[in-house]
Structure 1
Amino acid sequence: MDTTLLSALVRRNRLARFAPRPGAGQAPPLPRWRLVFALLALGATTACMEGYPTQDVAAVDPLYLTQDQRLAQLNALGNDAHPERKWSYAMRPGCVLRIDFDGKAGPRPPFDIPLRGAVVKVATDKADQTFDVEVKPVNPGAPHQVTVLEAQDWALAVGMSRVLRVMEKGCTDEGIVQWQPLATHLALSDF
């Protein structure tokens, strides 16, 4: 081999140590598993967005409502709870809740339920695929347990049960106490 060629190769190898490497100055490539993970995470977050409401629904606290406002809330829930069934409510003297129900078979006769001391619960009706709000009066002559709402949405059923419990607490021996919102009873001097 020629010495000039040999010296040129040696010189080239010595200079090669100082030459920039290919891809130098660029970000190192991501390993494949990181890229796959990033794509899966992106897909999972977009898939979880389906079915969720785009706006929050304002929750009304029945503790801050009057009895008339609570009754209006019951009627709104009874109207929206199921597309094929409509429930409407009215308060009678003695803290008795009158319930009108219109279903697939048409309207039924209204019935009354005494609320004072009643137990309210939410039950799942798997056969009908609804969440039922049931009221069990404590009076011996009253019906054992009555369904006062059948909702397709669990949150509506729980909201109805809460409003009913607060309505029951608003009843007195003389009839119905017209509770005012808490803020109207308190003054800054009370603190």
Structure 2
Amino acid sequence: MRGACKTALVLALAAALAACADGYPSEDGALILSHDMKLEKAIGAMHHLGHQRHLHYHWHYELLPGCVLEAQAKRFLRNREPVEVALRRSATVVEKDVTTGSHTVRVLPSDDTVGVVVLEGVGEHDALQMKWLLDFLPRHCGT
């Protein structure tokens, strides 16, 4: 009986570990993005992407009047100053760091070649989801 219990325990542990991504259980599962999502859901999805455990900073977002995104990277005792960027007439770009393989999402207003970093240190899939959300947000801005 002891051998059967050990085998069952090992199998249960293996199944639990296989259900984890990068050692962490998935929080809410995959994001479901759609063109009819409400602003609150879009901002919530951005927070989900910006609050992953492996990130150096947790990102917080708010859509301000005039279709301006405020983004702030927070870390215990090392918060960055909030940045603001106009989303209208802007391009959202995803850049890959060839040394780490991680991705950065940047918003480039039409008159700016440097732009504003709004998320960094994520995988390609998450970066592309954030790009989609940033390109989607202006739909919720008044004219």
The alignment partner of 2:133 has SS state of helix
For this pair of structures, how many residues does the alignment match?
A: 122
* Percent of matched pairs sharing the same residue: 23
Distance 1:161-1:116 versus aligned 2 partners, 3 A rule: same
List structure 1 segments (4+ residues) > 4 angstroms apart after TM superposition.
50-53
TM-score (norm 2): 0.71
Cα RMSD of the aligned pairs, angstroms, is 2.9
Q: What amino acid does structure 2 have at the position aligned with 1:153?
A: G
The structure, 1 or 2, with the larger RCO (C-alpha pairs under 8 Å, 6+ apart) is 1
* 1:86-125 CA distance string (max 9 Å, x none): 1110111101000111258810111111001210111101
2:6 equivalent in structure 1: none
Residue 110 to residue 59, structure 1, CA distance change in 2 (3 Å): closer
Largest Rg, 1 or 2: 1
Which of 52, 59, 81 is 1:80 aligned to? Answer: 52
- 1:172 equivalent to 2:142? Answer yes
Offset of residue 128 of structure 1: 4.4
Does structure 1 retain, via aligned residues, the 8 Å contact 2:70–2:82? yes
The aligned residue for residue 98 of structure 2 is: 126
Task: State whether residues 75 and 88 of structure 1, in contact with CA within 8 Å, keep that contact through their aligned partners in structure 2.
Answer: yes
Q: Tell me the distance in 1 between the aligned counterparts of 2:142 and 2:37.
A: 17
State the alpha-carbon separation in 2 of the partners of residues 131 and 51 from structure 1. Answer: 25
- The 8 Å contact of residues 63 and 166 in structure 1, kept in 2 or not, is answered as yes
Are 1:153 and 2:109 matched, yes or no?
Answer: no
With over 3 angstroms needed to count, the CA separation of the structure-2 counterparts of 1:100 and 1:59, relative to structure 1, is closer
Distance 1:151 1:64 in 2: 28
- Equivalents in 2 of 1:126, 1:168: separation in Å? 31
Q: Provide the TM-score with structure 1 as the length reference.
A: 0.54
The whole-number CA distance in structure 1 between the counterparts of 2:90 and 2:34 is 18
- 1:111 maps to 83
Provide the secondary structure at the position in 2 that maps to 1:63.
coil
Once residues 168 and 151 of structure 1 are traced to their aligned partners in structure 2, the CA distance between those partners, rounded to angstroms, is: 25
Q: Check whether the contact 1:62–1:162 (CA below 8 A) recurs between aligned residues.
A: no
Larger strand fraction of residues: 2
